[in-house]
Structure 1
Amino acid sequence: MTDIYSQQRRNRRTTIVLMAAFVVLIVSLGLSIDIYNAGGLDGLRFPAATAAAFLISAVNLVVSFYLGDRLVVKSLGARRPDIKNPSHRRLHNVAVEMALASGTPMPKLYVIDDPAPNAFAAGRDPENAVIGVTGGLLDIMDRDELQAVVAHEFGHIRNYDIRTMTVVAVCVGTVAVLSDWAVRTWRYGGVASRRRKGAHPLVLIPMVVLVLLSPLISRIIAMAVSRSREYQADVSAAEFTRNPAALARALAKIAHSTIPVKGVHRGTAHLFIHDPMRRRLDDKEGRYAELLATHPPIKKRIERLEKMAYIWSRTGKSTGGAP
């Protein structure tokens, strides 16, 4: 069986590879547009599209980096917890406990008035992070389960997943903008046909295909990063609470609900512990689902946590030890 720390190392390696793939995709897309517009490498003087790709990425990244958490909180209508409310006070207490267990600063807490059970984390680093939970989550979780869900979100914060997914979202947006710009330019005659007359079709056709497929490719990479980070946060939650079974129970309760969280869109869905839009794809297994789902199948996540709990019950030790 895989122990906690082996899973952490594997998930980190996976994320590094996927982020590198994003950089390669954006550079390749920019260069493909430039070379196609120039009619080949010989006609290329200045890589304008490549430069635009980095400029767009930089602007989007700065905005998302410094304002992303506030924009998410505002879009969801979240509010600060009322300490006089028993369920809100319980949330605050378990958050304090998990801040100590994870060794991270206390994030700002928010409550979303929504019956769908779910939770999210956002921000740019542990010092500027927020955790939000829905009223539906507070209503159906016992204390151990709520602690496990909050621990999962602390895992995202400590592992800097909140920053990683901000960068991923910017990369996806950059690819979409570049691809759309190239298609519109080519469609409406922005590229002089005389520039392409001397270029060999075998050189230009692959570039056109890359431009057309790049939004899909970027989404596949983004979803792979998101799924990898969810597994990592589950492992971190088990590490903080020493109670993987509690998170397994919490995920089962969340999965049982079929209500989507209001105000969520595709750009923020990956921030939640489980797909807040309740798309069937995230609950399915198979090659297609694994490519496009924002979260791993919840059954697989529960199975992994139950295996950890089984090792714990047999050895009395963290699953970071030998089984």
Structure 2
Amino acid sequence: MGYVKTAMLMAAMTALFMGVGYLIGGSGGAVIALAVAAAMNAFTWWNSDRMILRMHNAQPVAPGDRLGLHALIAELARNAGLPEPKVYLIDTPQPNAFATGRNPANAAVAVTAGLMHSLTREELAGVIAHELAHIRNHDTAIMTVTATFAGAISMLANFALFFGGSRERLGLVGTLLMMFLAPMAAALVQMAISRTREYAADKAGAEICGQPIWLASALEKIAVGAARIDNHAAERNPATAHMFIINPLHAHKYDSLFATHPATENRVAALRAMMAHGGGISGAAEPPMSASRIPITKKHRRAGPWS
């Protein structure tokens, strides 16, 4: 049902985009809007991972790192039936993580120094498994496309004020309303898709790592850290917020119309219910993580669970 809901929301996003194009330029405007969207999505499809990693100044982690981060990810990727993704570290004290890439063969997982510092290796395994679930479910591609559509709809809606066709069809008041309502509707669809996919990735991630409680515990710690520690790169690029495992911006606490993520309490409750109903895999292999912690910059250094 999650994929059906996502498909319906994507169809709504496409229809909204074409509708704005029609209001600006009639049937020809709708066709042009669709062509522009296709070109934008093609560019984003091939370059999204590099663009997003650059926005957050993510640095590659070499294979064979002393922490065994690559070994951990390789083990979990095998559990998920995926090729090993590229691994990146983001030098920020906020605990968080995201996955990007157009398909499993061209995917990357980025974790923050704050995440590595604040989680146990089991909790880290839960987070990595969640991100691998996004890759396996092709959520990274879906979210990139919806983000592009949302941006294009906002751009078209702003252009509407300067085109006579839309003013003739809607009048000045209607055109002004469209400028505000169309981007808002696009954002709502984008957020709805994000919330849908987060629940699915939580469930699949728990199955990949074998223990739902690992991810549940990690989510609780990340939510506390994200609420009190700023992520300056995310604040400068809020359109990427939906890609993180927990909203990196200081926004809404509860499931609301404008929340990019489900409430952490609801996600944790679903994972604990999964555990109670036998969702964990008994005897799951312990993640191959060393007892040390990832090197972080001096200004971020403090006592942590792997010290």
Q: Which residue of 2 aligns with 1:148?
A: 126
Q: Residue type matched to 1:237 in 2?
A: G
Question: CA–CA distance in 1 between the matches of 2:279 and 2:143?
Answer: 34
Structure 2 residue 284 is matched with structure 1 residue 284: no
Deviates more, 1:238-247 or 1:148-157: 238-247
SS at match of 1:292: coil
Shift of 1:59: 2.1
The gaps in structure 2 that reach 5 residues or longer are: 285-307
* Aligned residues of 2:198 and 2:262 also touching (Cα < 8 A): yes
For 1:156, the aligned partner's letter is H
- Superimposed CA distance per residue, residues 215-269 of structure 1 (whole angstroms, 9 cap, x where no aligned partner): 1000000000011111111011111122000000000100111212231122111
Residue in structure 1 matched with residue 21 of structure 2 by the alignment: 30
Q: How does 1:49-64 map to 2 (within 5 A)?
A: 49-64=29-44
Distance 1:26 1:314, change over 3 A: closer
| Partner Cα distance (2:118, 2:100) in 1 | 23
CA distance in 2, matches of 1:109, 1:66: 18
Structure 1 vs Structure 2: percent identity of aligned residues? 34
Offset, 1:16: 1.2
- Once residues 216 and 163 of structure 1 are traced to their aligned partners in structure 2, the CA distance between those partners, rounded to angstroms, is 22
Long gaps (5+) in structure 1: 1-9, 36-46, 319-323
Shift of 1:314: 10
1:217 matched residue in structure 2: 185
What SS does the aligned partner of 2:108 have?
A: strand
SS at 1:224 equivalent: helix
How far 1:192 sits from its partner (Å)? 10
Instruction: Report what 2:277 is aligned to.
Output: 311
Distance in 1 (alpha carbons) for counterparts of 2:262 and 2:113? 24
Q: Equivalent residue for 1:294? A: 260
Who is 1:237 aligned against? Answer: 205
Change (3 A) 1:316 1:71: closer
Distance 1:135 1:192, change over 3 A: closer
Alignment-derived partner of residue 138 in structure 2: 160
Partner of 1:40: none
Pair 1:180-2:161 in alignment: no
- Deviation of the 1:132 alpha carbon: 0.2
User: How much has 1:212 moved relative to structure 2?
Assistant: 4.1
**Contact residue 33 and residue 211 of structure 1 kept, 8 A:** no
**Are positions 1:255 and 2:223 aligned together?**
yes
Structure 1 partner of 2:8: 17
Aligned to 2:291: none
Query: Given that residues 160 and 175 in structure 2 are in contact (C-alpha distance below 8 angstroms), is that contact kept between their aligned partners in structure 1?
Result: no
Structure 1 segments, 4+ long, off by >6 Å, are 203-208, 313-318
* Post-superposition offset of 1:17: 1.2
Q: Is the counterpart of residue 112 in structure 1 residue 83 in structure 2?
A: no
Q: Which amino acid aligns with 1:29?
A: V
Distance 2:282 2:71 in 1: 26
- Please tell me whether Structure 1 or Structure 2 has the larger radius of gyration of its CA atoms: 1
Provide, for residues 155-211 of structure 1, a one-character-per-residue CA deviation record: whole Å limited to 9, x for no partner.
0000000110011011101111110111233xxxx4598xx4xx7x7x997677445
Q: RMSD in angstroms over aligned alpha carbons?
A: 2.5
Task: Give the total of aligned pairs.
Answer: 280
User: How far apart are the structure 1 equivalents of 2:201 and 2:30?
Assistant: 34
Instruction: Please give the secondary structure, in 1, of the residue aligned with 2:60.
Output: coil
Instruction: Indicate how the Cα distance of structure 1 residues 308 and 181 shifts in structure 2: closer, same or farther if over 3 A, else same.
Output: same
Aligned twin of 1:6: none
Are the counterparts in 1 of residues 210 and 280 from structure 2 also a CA contact under 8 Å?
A: no
- Given that 2:210 and 2:281 are in contact with CA atoms closer than 8 Å, whether structure 1 keeps it comes out as no
- CA deviation vs aligned residue, 1:6-35 (integer Å, no higher than 9, x gap): xxxx21121111111112211222222234
Contact 1:32-1:211 within 8 A present in 2 as well: no
Asked if 1 retains the 8 angstrom alpha-carbon contact of 2:24 and 2:165, the reply is no
